Amino acid sequence: MPDLKQPLDGIRVVDLTRVLSGPFCSMLLGDMGAEVIKVEPPGKGDPVRGQGTLKDGLSWYFASFNRNKKSVTLDLYADEGKALLAELIRDADVLVDNFRPGVLAKMGFDKARLDTLNPRLVTANISGYGSTGPMADLPAFDFIIQAMSGFMSVNGRADQEPMRSGQPITDLVGGLYAAFGIVCALRARDLNGRGQHVESALMNGILSFMAYLASEHLLTGQLPLRTGNNHPLVAPYGLYKASDGEVAVAASNDVVLRKFMRTIGLEDLLDDPRYDDNTKRFPLRDELKEIIDARMQDESQAHWIAALNAAGVPSGKVQDLGEVFADPQVAAQEMVISVDHPGHGDVRMLGFPVKLSETPCEARLPAPELGAHDEEILGPLRARLAQRSG
């Protein structure tokens, strides 16, 4: 058995993606050990290199989505660039792009050509809407997909407009699904020797997260309501006011609810005939909130969070990013790491969300300078092309 450091050791990914969904996908593969070769247009490269705040010329946004990658520059509109891409593809295990569906084929790399170059290749495309259907060719962007997918229709307050998420959530879900699909396709190839095509669409990914909102609608035909921070079905639930800040409480069933009310000294309410059943409590949730707020004012946020969690009631507070990154739990989970970028110093970035005990994710390489690996990667390919034509 080989000595394996990471699950994707030995896998080479040719990465034509840019901006967010695709680079996130290829970073996930790189974090798991793949050699990721980021192909960028000469000149400015991935637009994210110029986005966000730069420090010593380096975008930390770019750095945080492009660790564990090598960068080569290719002009894919020129013959030499296409010839070199073909050679890269011959040696690759995975080719991933987030062009609109069909763009890669128009560049000269349709399915037949890719099969000829490398029948073991796993190809992957991340697009807004997928490669079939009336919207396959439309330009897409996270905000538009949040709108089109129904995500916004369930996000926000009942009395206000549908709301987008502050996180570019559809890009990241789409990228993560693509990485999952690619590793599945690699496992299939390990078994049957053949590559295949993987598609992840931002629209499909975020739609698959509709959970009970979707199943309820499909069964009843009713539209889910926006309910802000209230639970759509259960009360009490949500944010309550301690003496020095709010406390988030998720009392999702009767057992946990009784623990909640007992902990704050209001258990009697649950035996009051006005509140002894969720169907009675739910329409009175504002009234209940006033009673609970009044009681919780007696103690601090920290007091209640500790007491509630100790009693088995999930509880916490709304943390801003400053609080999150100062949170000892986040530190214990190593969710901020520091990566040395020669010439730019240490860059702090988010850590690895999946922990594998024996072959863990590692930051082996900092995000590359544009074209940093042209010589290492493209040099031998140029020699190969020269030999073949000579």
| Residue window 167-206: x/- pattern of binding to its own copies, with contact defined by CB under 8 A | xxx-xxx--xxxxxx-xxxxxx-xxxxx-xxxxxx-xxxx
Torsion of CA 141, 145, 146, 148, to 10 degrees: 140
* Residues 143/215, Cβ–Cβ less than 8 Å: no
| Residue 211 touches its own copies, criterion: CB under 8 A | yes
Encoded one letter per residue, x for contact with its own copies by CB under 8 A and - for no contact, window 274-313 reads -----------------------------------x--xx
Q: How many angstroms separate the CA atoms of 325 and 336, rounded?
A: 7
- 231 in active site: yes
| DSSP-derived secondary structure letter, 341 | E
Stretch that binds its own copies, among 68-76, 249-257, 277-285, 289-297 (CB under 8 A): 249-257
Check residue 271 and report its DSSP letter: G
| Chosen residue from 83, 105, 207, 270 binding its own copies by CB under 8 A | 207
Q: Could you tell me the smallest distance in angstroms from the CB atom of residue 103 to its own copies?
A: 13
| Residue 159 near its own copies by CB under 8 A | no
How far apart are CB 159 and its own copies at their closest, in Å?
11
Residue from 217, 231, 303, 341 carrying the catalytic annotation: 231
Instruction: State yes or no: residue 314 binds its own copies (CB under 8 A).
Output: yes
Q: Is 105 in the site for its own copies (CB under 8 A)?
A: no
387 binds its own copies (CB under 8 A): no
Q: Smaller CB distance to its own copies: residue 284 or 335?
A: 335
- Burial tier of 188 (Cβ tally within 10 Å: 0-12, 13-18, 19+): middle
Q: Residue 51's beta-bridge partner residues?
A: none
Count residues binding its own copies (CB under 8 A): 154
Contacting its own copies (CB under 8 A), which of 80, 272, 287, 327?
327
User: In the chain, what is the greatest distance between 2 CA atoms, to the nearest angstrom?
Assistant: 92
Among the listed residues 36, 85, 148, 269, the single contact to its own copies using CB under 8 A: 148
Among 17, 98, 149, 263, binds its own copies (CB under 8 A): 149
Using alpha carbons, select from 77, 84, 70, 95 the residue that is nearest to residue 41: 77
d(CA 233, CA 273): 19
> By the 8 A CB rule, do 70 and 40 touch?
no
From the number of C-beta atoms within 10 Å of its C-beta (0-12, 13-18, 19+), residue 34 rates as buried
Neighbours of 294 (CB within 10 A): 12
Nearer to its own copies, 253 or 297 (CB): 253
According to CB under 8 A, which residues from 335 to 374 bind its own copies? 335-336, 348-359
Q: Residue 21, Cα to own-chain centre: how many angstroms?
A: 8
Q: Is 120 helix (H, G, I), strand (E, B) or coil?
A: coil
Cβ 376 to its own copies, closest distance in Å?
25
Per CB under 8 A, which of residues 29..88 are in contact with its own copies? 32, 47, 51-53, 55, 59-61, 63-65
The residues that are catalytic are 231
